[in-house]
Structure 1
Amino acid sequence: AHPLKSTRKRSAELGIPRSTMRQHMKKDLGVRPWRPSFVNELSDNDRDNRKECCSELLNTFATIPSRGDECAIYRSDRKRNVFFWSKENPHYMEEIEHKPPHVMMWAALNARHIIGPYFFNGSVNHKSYLEMLQNWFVPELDALGIRQDVWLQQDGVPPHYALSVREFLNDSFPDRWIGRGSPVSPAPLKWPARSPDLTTCDNSLWGYIKEIIQSRRYQNNEELKDAVRAAFATITPTMLTKMSHRTWRRIILCYENDGAHTDTLD
């Protein structure tokens, strides 16, 4: 059967009740329903860039560069993974706000350290992003005594690409930051677009934090921030190591599979 064909359509083609077919699939065929993974569409050029980047990472770095990234966290995210088990349909309905309240946070991590969370006041623009780097992130690195050893990697969204931001990164991380507009030489690589699966924030951290906090509503943003901070506090050194290993594994898989998505390979 075609993997994207619905059970309703297939049962009509076979002339059997849908319930009978689903029962046969579960009991006799041993299959079960799975949620699909929705990933960014990749062009041939994207795949080439991803493979090239992975090759450079594997040949240049002994550890994953520190990844810094933003994430929107909503006060109510009750749509995710919510099911009702009942003999009859309870017809439960919950109204969802058109623009639900949320906070924008930022964090950076590598195999040994996690810096964050940092919460922006409102949306992120180049001024607020630069202020965060200047007044919080770099001082945090200096307090730990690790700035000279850190390679910072970021994506290419407009706030990260502003000239003032790039100039600050050039001064604070000379030849040690990776992203849109970073020095091509002597910096070793250009980060490929549409590659969140290759970053630890996207493939591990954000999902872990959301899994912890998504089961309840929050009355205000401060309550949500407290929950996020508490979730971050549960991350152990062992977990950081495992997250980093997962990203390395994905980088290897991406290289071995000619730049393909790794969400279904990992």
Structure 2
Amino acid sequence: MFVRATFHLSGKVNRHNVRLWGTENPRAIVALERDPPKLIVFCALSQTKLYGPFFFCEKTVTGTSYLDMLQLWLFPQLPVDSGDFVLQQDGAPPHWNINVRRYLNNDLRHRWIAHVREDDVALFTWPPRSPDLTPCDFFLLGYIKDRVCVPPLPRTLVELRERIDAAVMTIDRMMLQNVWNELDYRLDVCRVTQGIHIEHL
């Protein structure tokens, strides 16, 4: 499972394509800075290891840059640790790119979970709007953000990158085991509640 997030110097963190549904309207207006300095970061995790961070050079991740990262950085590392893995990705436009799906259909048949088309050879379709079932969302992003976005905030992208690197280095094998135990619990809750909202988690 993986997460791709944008860390801004302002302390804002944007997790792409995740919508957390509130129980009431917050009735708030938030002013956003246009094109603030930022880093787009990718991490993946397994039961025993965290892969990353990988920092994208581009200001926007495209299907081409995402596929390059998969082919040149992530996938060469995975078989060294385990040949038995499944890639889980959401419906972000780079993941939905035809070349990405073609590559996954050819090289990772029945071993990827995502937003799919009828002709895709995925393991299964991941349910939309389900960050409560994704360890990278319910654990990793918040954990890193809590360690990176603390006063005084970083003043440069180099300092921001160093903080992200340092935060990732603190995640150990025991933490990852606890995260996967939590995922098992969340999946059990989903089965018992037959897939209804479980925002109380």
Under TM normalisation by the shorter chain, which class is it?
Answer: 0.7 to 0.9
**Aligned equivalent of 2:141:** 206
Counterpart of 2:70, as a letter, is L
Q: Tell me, which stretches of 5 or more residues in structure 2 are unaligned?
A: 13-30
> 2:71 — aligned with what?
134
Q: Would the aligned equivalents of 1:75 and 1:224 in 2 still touch at CA under 8 Å?
A: yes
**2:47 is aligned with 1:111:** yes
1:230 aligns with 2:160: no
Give the aligned CA root-mean-square deviation in angstroms: 2.1
Distance verdict in 2 for CA 1:129–1:238, change over 3 Å: same
Alignment TM-score, normalising by the size of structure 1: 0.62
- 1:48 aligns with none
69, 85, 104: which one pairs with 1:150?
Answer: 85
Q: 1:195 to 1:102 in 2, by over 3 A?
A: same
* Structure of higher CA gyration radius: 1
In the TM superposition, residue 184 of structure 1 has moved relative to its aligned partner by 7.8
The amino acid of 1:76's aligned partner reads S
**Residues 234, 183 of structure 1: alpha-carbon distance in 2 compared, 3 angstrom cutoff:** farther
Shift in alpha-carbon separation, 1:133–1:237, aligned structure 2, 3 A: same
More strand by share: 2
The answer for the alignment partner of 2:26 in structure 1 is none
Counterpart amino acid of 2:76?
Answer: P
For 1:183 and 1:135, locate their aligned partners in 2 and report how far apart those are by CA, in whole Å.
28
Q: Secondary structure at the match of 1:115?
A: strand
Aligned position for 1:171: 106
5+ residue gaps in structure 1? Answer: 1-66, 79-95
Percentage identity across aligned positions? 35
Aligned to 2:16: none
Structure with more relative contact order (C-alpha pairs < 8 Å, separation 6 or more): 1
Q: Deviation at 1:112?
A: 1.4
TM score, norm. by length of structure 2? 0.81
Q: Aligned in 2, Cα 1:182/1:134: closer, same or farther, shift over 3 Å?
A: farther
In structure 1, what residue type is equivalent to 2:74? F
